[in-house]
Each structure stands twice: as C-alpha cells, then as structure tokens.
Chains A and B, each alone.
Chain A
C-alpha cells in the first residue's frame, strides 16, 4: 500500500497531557500538509511542508502545537498540554505538485479525544 499512513488511528488522552501523531506520506511526494476536522465542519488547514521546510502555519496552530518533518520524509504533529477543544480528527495529506494544482492525497486521520 503506497497511500498516506497515519498513526495512531485513535488517541484518548486526559487534559494537560502531551500527544504526538505521525504521518508517512506517499514516498515520492515532497509536500505534506496537516489539517484538522471537527464534527460538522470541513478540514481546516494547519500547516504545510515542502520537503523538510515548514513554509506556512495557520493562526489555528497555537504555541502548544508543533510539527516537524525531519529529512523531508515522515512528519510528526505534537500537541502539548492538550485541551478539550483540541478534540478533533487530525488529517495528514501529501502531494507532488509541479503545477500548483493541489490534488491532495489524505490519510485516514487520527481521531483525538481529550477528556
């Protein structure tokens, strides 16, 4: 399977704990994105990497959130001191975009529940 892989699929944590999610993009894709989706809403952009460089961050990404993509391969998204409002589906996507037309390939997401 060469699709976008996310781990874990589900995460339940207590408020105040730190959590980390992993995303493995399609191997030849140089662009990687994180989105967040809450119930009844569409995905909202969080951040974007081209290779290992984080080129854009949304205002939604507070100081408690950090994302990395070492060596331009897999990416991690860490949330520190989780809050109940962080409960959402965290989606990773990747693309190989020579022409600016963003056909993103999404993973199945990590469902975070903060109790």
Chain B
C-alpha cells in the first residue's frame, strides 16, 4: 500500500514563477515530513522538513505547508530557478520509527 503519494509525475513551471509540489499521506501516525531533491546520477539530498505540530516551515525560497486534517502537504518554491529542475520526493516518518516512507516523486522542470 502506498502510504505516501505524489500524484503528479511531472510539473513544468516557467522561471521566476511559483512551483507547487503536492503530497498526500494515509497514515495518521506520521508525525514528521521531509522533502528531498534528486538530480540524475546522484542520491537524494535533504531540502526541508516539518513536524506535525506545525503547519508551515520556511527556508529561503522553499516553504512547506502541512494540512493534517486533509493529510496533505505541499512544497512551494518561489521564485523558481533553472537549478531547481530535479525530481522531488516527499517522505514521512512515524514517531519512534527509523524508516522514511517516500512518495513516488515529481519531476520538476523549470523553463527559461
């Protein structure tokens, strides 16, 4: 069962505009959420995270929003830059557990 879902396999955004990547989860026991970015031939790199006690976390151009009642989180990138073109993975973790559960990923392409 896919506990973390990213329903958009790809997203194309014009440079300078806002990119919004979405993620849904089914397990209400998840209490910590992360976004990772992956370039080709490299491993995923940590981008930003949010605890379930918050509804927003911001780091520079990146903001993650969490809606616990809807079991939904989103990553906003503004303004989008060509270097943001990558695959973005949403991940979630239960309290006390060690493993991360990843979504399928969304390929973001920023067009000049």
A76 → B minimal CB distance (Å): 18
| A31 adjacent to B103 (CB under 8 Å) | no
Cβ of A27: which chain B residues have Cβ within 8 Å of it? Answer: none
Interface secondary structure of A, over-half rule: loop
Stretch at the interface among A14-22, A37-45, A67-75: A37-45
Given A48, A55, A101, A108, which contacts B42 in the complex, CB threshold below 8 Å?
A: A108
Mark each residue of chain B from 43 to 68: 1 if its CB lies under 8 Å from any CB of chain A, else 0. 11110010100000000000000000
Cβ of B44: which chain A residues have Cβ within 8 Å of it? Answer: 43, 91, 106
| B34 adjacent to A103 (CB under 8 Å) | yes
| B100 adjacent to A41 (CB under 8 Å) | no
- How many residues on the B side are at the interface (Cβ–Cβ under 8 A)? 27
Cβ of B45: which chain A residues have Cβ within 8 Å of it? Answer: 106
Mark each residue of chain B from 83 to 97: 1 if its CB lies under 8 Å from any CB of chain A, else 0. 000000101010110
Cβ of A4: which chain B residues have Cβ within 8 Å of it? Answer: 43
A residues contacting B by CB (< 8 A) are: 4, 31, 33, 40-45, 48, 55-56, 58, 91, 93, 100-109
B residues contacting A by CB (< 8 A) are: 4, 6, 9, 32, 34, 36, 41-46, 49, 51, 89, 91, 93, 95-96, 98-105
Identify 28 residue pairs between A and B in the complex whose beta-carbon atoms are under 8 Å apart, listed by A's number. A40-B9, A41-B105, A42-B102, A42-B104, A43-B89, A43-B100, A43-B102, A45-B99, A45-B100, A45-B101, A48-B99, A55-B98, A58-B99, A91-B43, A91-B44, A100-B32, A100-B95, A100-B96, A101-B51, A102-B32, A102-B34, A102-B93, A102-B100, A103-B46, A105-B46, A106-B45, A107-B43, A108-B43
